[in-house]
Chain A
Amino acid sequence: MLENRRFVIIGFFSLVGLIYLLRLFYLQVLDESYSIESSSNSIKRVIEIPFRGQIYDRTGKLIVYNTPVYDLLVTPRKARVEDTLRFCQVLGIERRDFDSLMAAAAAYSPFKPSLFLRQLSKEDFASIQDVMVDYSGFEFAKSSLRTYTAPTLANTLGYVSEITRSQLEKQEEPYYRQSDYIGQSGIEKIYENELRGKRGTKFVMQNVAGVYKGPWKNGELDTMAVAGENLYTGIDLEVQQYADSLMVNKVGSVVAIEPKTGQIISMVSAPTYDPNILASRHFSKNFAALARNPYKPLFNRPVMASYRPGSTFKLIQALIGLQAGVITPESGFTHANCPMGCHVHPATSTVALGVMHSCNPYFYNVFRRLIYKNNITNTFRASAVGLDDWHDKMSKFGIGQRLGIDLPSEYKGNLPNKKYYDRFYGEYRWKFSNIYSLSIGEGELLITPLKMANVAAIIANRGYYYTPHVIHGIGDKKYVKPEFLERHDSGVDPRHFDPVIEGMIGAVEGGTARRSRVEGITIAGKTGTSQNKKGDDSSIFIAFAPADDPKIAIAVFVEYAGAGGSAAAPIANLVIEKYLTRKVTNKALEERMLKADFMSKVILPGVKKPVTTDSTRKKPVPADSVKKKPAAPAKPVVSNRPVAVNP
């Protein structure tokens, strides 16, 4: 009885199987709309790649846009080229190029279209298009090229190039295909998802010859491509290009920040290159040349280069000392009982004077008090506790921390703590006398130009900062990432900034940076010299202006240029004046800085110096030969002037 139910069960299973077979027969054989084989048309999915977002400067000027170009694709199995000679003539290629391109395409896939010629201009396309009708197996695909309105900001903006094999394999969702473009560095990389937009999909019908026969199902299933979001930067293009010109023939950085918002106004990485050369058909060649260049133009110095902060560090020492109560604005120190040398200067009887004259013993004493502030009698233990306490306070200024700028590969820098020295000396085996060089920004400290510009912004704001950022608006709604609207506190009360700022104004008016003061603008600044073991020191200057209502905070680093007052301070002050007044009064200084060439002093690792009178110079060096100017200044292997656009 119950056994007979097996027939019901098997019957039910078979019935479902039969229904499915009928359904499949209907879908696959009867329903024409799905079938490809039974009609002469085939359905093809075309992916429409939208324009990347454009990038604007703070005044609304366009920095990056797109130029439409055409890629020529070939499907090797379908390709019919009878007269190769004429074909090559039309495309302007050599016969062996033709052979190698065809071979590469066939190796990739004989049945699928692959790239034959990339990025033909509109004009080329117009002239070739008609002739190409004679050759089957070729098709054009619309594409676009990044185009830059000015030859500047190469490292900040980054570049876009073909996706690499490893990137292709690593992507989590299969979004990119081979030969797709992707942002590889700078803003293009960080904001790739915003810039790339949304791809569209079109289903089109083609006949056997690949000729378009209209949309499939009236385009019901097509999706429109949506252009990428525009990005709005805080960059001032005019000031940026002016700063670029001042940094020609120098190695270094200029970073200018708007203190009240954290927006980057200008960011120069010298030497630089014209970003247009990496957005052309000659990408590989040009990229290889840049990668080989010994001056490393692809190295984004403002966020990646590391220096010792030198005397600019004294500003933070003073602020932390005041906040901790180990000094008052009226504290004075003399050169007595200090192992550090100093230059001849008037008495430093206040914090302001200490900053103004950049007195080494003064800050040696401040740092000593900070380290030994605690009541521990054992100096080893006291140093250990004191250093970690100092480390925490320093960290709040962003030293030794990643600030979180919207650029890739930001260097963290180095801010030593107890653990750091324990590794070298062993626990409680070191004390203040081993680490005092930190007091004047030497020793094991490492910072980036961006960090010091941010320090200038903190002082300008009297105690806080916003994370420095390039993009201050995404899309039409100018959406700002919330992390860039978050105020970070330095942990130092506003009142403690007054004596330090007074000292900074003094430094520009009559101290270490007096030669580059600007008429009519009160600039608060501080020079620094980052010692360089291999050659001339790096010249550093950080500043903000106007002192009473700061609109710009700046850090300038010039490698191999000597003391801070020699190159960095003049360049910084010229940029400040340009930004605040749109003109420059001190034409003589401007002329001198435009012409200054510190590139010839650069000692390249492993590269023989171009033949000059001091080409034999090697360490140790007699003091006089250093001062000697080369008789015939050698041209660097590659000029750091923006490289001409490759035709």
Chain B
Amino acid sequence: MPENKPITKNVDWIVVLIYIACLAIGWVNIYAAVYNPEVQTSMFDVSNNAGKQLMWIGTAALLIVCILVIDYKFYETFSFIIYAVVIALLVLVLFAGSNINGSRSWIKIGAFSLQPAEFSKLAISLAIAKYLSDPAISLTRKLKDYYPIMGIIALPAFLILLSNETGSMLVFASFAVVLYREGMPGFIPAIGMVMAALLIITLLFVKWYIAGAIIIIAGLAIWIMPVMTRRRGGLWATILVSLVMIGIVFGVDFFMNNVLQKHQRGRIMVLLDPDSDPRGIGWNVIQSKIAIGSGGFAGKGFLQGTQTKFDFVPEQSTDFIFCTVGEEHGFIGAAIVVFLFVCLISRLVILAERQRSRFARVYGYCVAGIIFFHFMINVGMTIGLMPVIGIPLPFFSYGGSSLWSFSILLFIFLKIDAQRPFTLSRG
């Protein structure tokens, strides 16, 4: 077996280079975000976030070396054990966690804090991949095969909900991507998106109008459909779908007023109309749009950003790091970051598709989906296209937990991918 060939030969260098580029750009922008012209500290000073991030990057590099050294079969063999360990950590944090910003989800080790919730994505990905690696499982035909997947996702989601960290829970929606690829009928994610759209429309318009519109569209569909297709049962399906949609519209009202907490409701309302609350929650959105918008085409230059300094944009080095990119490096800088992410995610999909084992493919899609969702929500939030949900931008945002978890997530896949020539096809 030629397994002792150096890993450097087989690892996908395109992904590695994009990864390094993201870390470098992120680190420089963290420094710019925390840079205070009145209390200047060096980029390497561990008293500021940039210096600390450098330490995190260094430790991440060590982790990556470990991941690449460990036998690739380890991840598949131990995926359920890794899942169990993360679940145990999530339970532990509920009892022994330190309270940071109102959410009890951190484990403090000295001056640094770790967030087990960040690692739940990795655990779920491995567990789903392991589960789906059984060729007998089919997502196309058997509904009961979905139950274990629901369980795998729901257990950590429930624990995270208990620790009041709803932001990272939403990312679990990203597993829809892999399920779709593995055979989930296309209408399910479509319904998800329609529901999200309905939610927003309901908040903007009177619910009776929307109900009327749905009925009209359904009527048109029923009238046109027999002409377009020859399928039967379309009539009842359309009526059912319309009724469900109308139900959703009326349910949203209830959902908004009784299920969501006040600050969550506010975040959704602000997405629709930031000017509704310019001093409160809208502040974040407005300030972040000003910061990005003021960057112009070419940006103001490194450390020349004014809007991201002091308290202009909240959490500049963590969740709003993209503002600093947009302000100091303009449209060019922001476009490069968007481009990097689209390239990275597309490359991951391509890599996933060339895997011979189903485990590797499913895991690859999980990684791509998770990074994509983080990117979509985080960047969308800063440019006012998504509600303000506090989740990090992978490889860019300051924070050890997120950097570690994304690096581990990514490099486990790269390791598996590097061993691809030696794995046997199993389905």
Query: A and B bound?
Result: yes
Interface residues in chain A, defined as those with a beta carbon under 8 Å from any beta carbon in chain B: 2-3, 5-6, 8-10, 13-14, 16-17, 19-21, 23-25, 27-29, 31, 33-38, 43-45, 108-109, 112, 165, 168-169, 173-174, 177-178, 220-221, 223
From A3, A24, A169, A220, give the contact of B331 (CB < 8 A).
Answer: A24
Contact B346 A13 (CB under 8 A): yes
Contact B346 A10 (CB under 8 A): yes
Min CB distance A543 to B, Å, is 51
From A13, A14, A19, A34, give the contact of B290 (CB < 8 A).
Answer: A34
Q: Inside 8 A of B298's CB, which chain A residues have their CB?
A: 37
- For residue B148, CB closer than 8 A to chain A, the reply is no
Min CB distance B266 to A, Å, is 18
- For residue B156, CB closer than 8 A to chain A, the reply is no
- Residue among A19, A21, A27, A178 with most chain B CB within 10 A: A27
Q: Inside 8 A of B279's CB, which chain A residues have their CB?
A: 223
- For residue B376, CB closer than 8 A to chain A, the reply is yes
Q: Inside 8 A of A45's CB, which chain B residues have their CB?
A: 306-307, 312
Sort chain B's interface into a size bin. 35 or more
Contact B293 A17 (CB under 8 A): no
Some 30 contacts from A to B, beta carbons below 8 A apart, are A2-B182, A6-B181, A6-B349, A6-B350, A9-B180, A10-B346, A13-B372, A14-B346, A16-B376, A17-B338, A19-B385, A20-B380, A20-B383, A21-B338, A23-B384, A23-B385, A24-B292, A24-B335, A25-B331, A27-B289, A27-B292, A27-B326, A27-B383, A35-B293, A36-B296, A37-B296, A38-B296, A43-B290, A177-B310, A221-B278
Contact B297 A37 (CB under 8 A): yes
Q: Please provide the chain B residues from 306 to 330 with a CB less than 8 Å away from any CB of chain A in the complex.
A: 306-307, 310-312, 326, 330
Contact A29 B380 (CB under 8 A): no
From A6, A20, A108, give the contact of B385 (CB < 8 A).
Answer: A20
Q: Once the chains are docked, how many angstroms separate the CA of A174 from the CA of B48? A: 13
Contact A31 B293 (CB under 8 A): yes
Q: Once the chains are docked, how many angstroms separate the CA of A316 from the CA of B108? A: 49
Residue of A nearest to B343 (CB): A17
5 other contacts beyond A24-B331, A29-B331, with CB at 8 A cut-off?
A6-B350, A9-B349, A13-B342, A221-B286, A223-B279
Contact B311 A17 (CB under 8 A): no
- For residue B264, CB closer than 8 A to chain A, the reply is no
Contact B296 A29 (CB under 8 A): yes
Q: Inside 8 A of B292's CB, which chain A residues have their CB?
A: 24, 27-28, 34
Chain A interface secondary structure, helix, strand, loop or mixed? Answer: helix
Q: Once the chains are docked, how many angstroms separate the CA of A174 from the CA of B316? A: 12
Q: Please provide the chain B residues from 70 to 97 with a CB less than 8 Å away from any CB of chain A in the complex.
A: none
Min CB distance A92 to B, Å, is 28
Q: Inside 8 A of A44's CB, which chain B residues have their CB?
A: 306
Q: Once the chains are docked, how many angstroms separate the CA of A122 from the CA of B339? A: 56
Q: Inside 8 A of A221's CB, which chain B residues have their CB?
A: 278, 286
Q: Once the chains are docked, how many angstroms separate the CA of A44 from the CA of B379? A: 25
Q: Once the chains are docked, how many angstroms separate the CA of A9 from the CA of B38? A: 47
Q: Inside 8 A of B278's CB, which chain A residues have their CB?
A: 220-221
Q: Inside 8 A of B376's CB, which chain A residues have their CB?
A: 16
Q: Once the chains are docked, how many angstroms separate the CA of A169 from the CA of B12? A: 44
Q: Once the chains are docked, how many angstroms separate the CA of A37 from the CA of B304? A: 13
Q: Inside 8 A of B307's CB, which chain A residues have their CB?
A: 45
Contact B342 A23 (CB under 8 A): no
Q: Please provide the chain B residues from 343 to 398 with a CB less than 8 Å away from any CB of chain A in the complex.
A: 345-346, 349-350, 353, 365, 368, 372, 376, 379-380, 383-385
Q: Once the chains are docked, how many angstroms separate the CA of A27 from the CA of B384? A: 10
Interface residues in chain B, defined as those with a beta carbon under 8 Å from any beta carbon in chain A: 36-39, 177, 180-183, 186, 278-279, 286, 289-290, 292-298, 300, 306-307, 310-312, 326, 330-331, 334-335, 338-339, 341-342, 345-346, 349-350, 353, 365, 368, 372, 376, 379-380, 383-385
Report, nearest first, the 9 A-B pairs whose CB atoms are least far apart. Answer: A34-B293, A17-B342, A178-B38, A37-B296, A28-B331, A27-B293, A24-B334, A36-B294, A35-B296
Min CB distance B184 to A, Å, is 10
Q: Inside 8 A of A13's CB, which chain B residues have their CB?
A: 342, 345-346, 349, 368, 372
From A9, A37, A169, A220, give the contact of B177 (CB < 8 A).
Answer: A9
Q: Inside 8 A of B286's CB, which chain A residues have their CB?
A: 221
Min CB distance B320 to A, Å, is 15
Contact B37 A24 (CB under 8 A): no
From B180, B300, B312, B346, give the contact of A5 (CB < 8 A).
Answer: B180
Residue of B nearest to A221 (CB): B278
Min CB distance B180 to A, Å, is 6
Contact B331 A35 (CB under 8 A): no
Q: Inside 8 A of A14's CB, which chain B residues have their CB?
A: 342, 346
Min CB distance A289 to B, Å, is 29
Q: A9-B349, A13-B345, A221-B278 in contact; A28/B334 too (CB < 8 A)?
A: yes
Q: Once the chains are docked, how many angstroms separate the CA of A168 from the CA of B40? A: 12
Min CB distance A459 to B, Å, is 46
Min CB distance B30 to A, Å, is 16
Q: Inside 8 A of B297's CB, which chain A residues have their CB?
A: 28-29, 37
Residue of B nearest to A216 (CB): B290
Q: A28-B292, A28-B331 in contact; A20/B379 too (CB < 8 A)?
A: yes
Q: Once the chains are docked, how many angstroms separate the CA of A8 from the CA of B349? A: 11
Q: Inside 8 A of B290's CB, which chain A residues have their CB?
A: 34, 43
Q: A28-B326, A37-B297 in contact; A177/B353 too (CB < 8 A)?
A: no
Residue of B nearest to A165 (CB): B39
From A24, A33, A165, give the contact of B326 (CB < 8 A).
Answer: A24
Q: Once the chains are docked, how many angstroms separate the CA of A37 from the CA of B331? A: 12
Q: Inside 8 A of A36's CB, which chain B residues have their CB?
A: 294, 296, 300
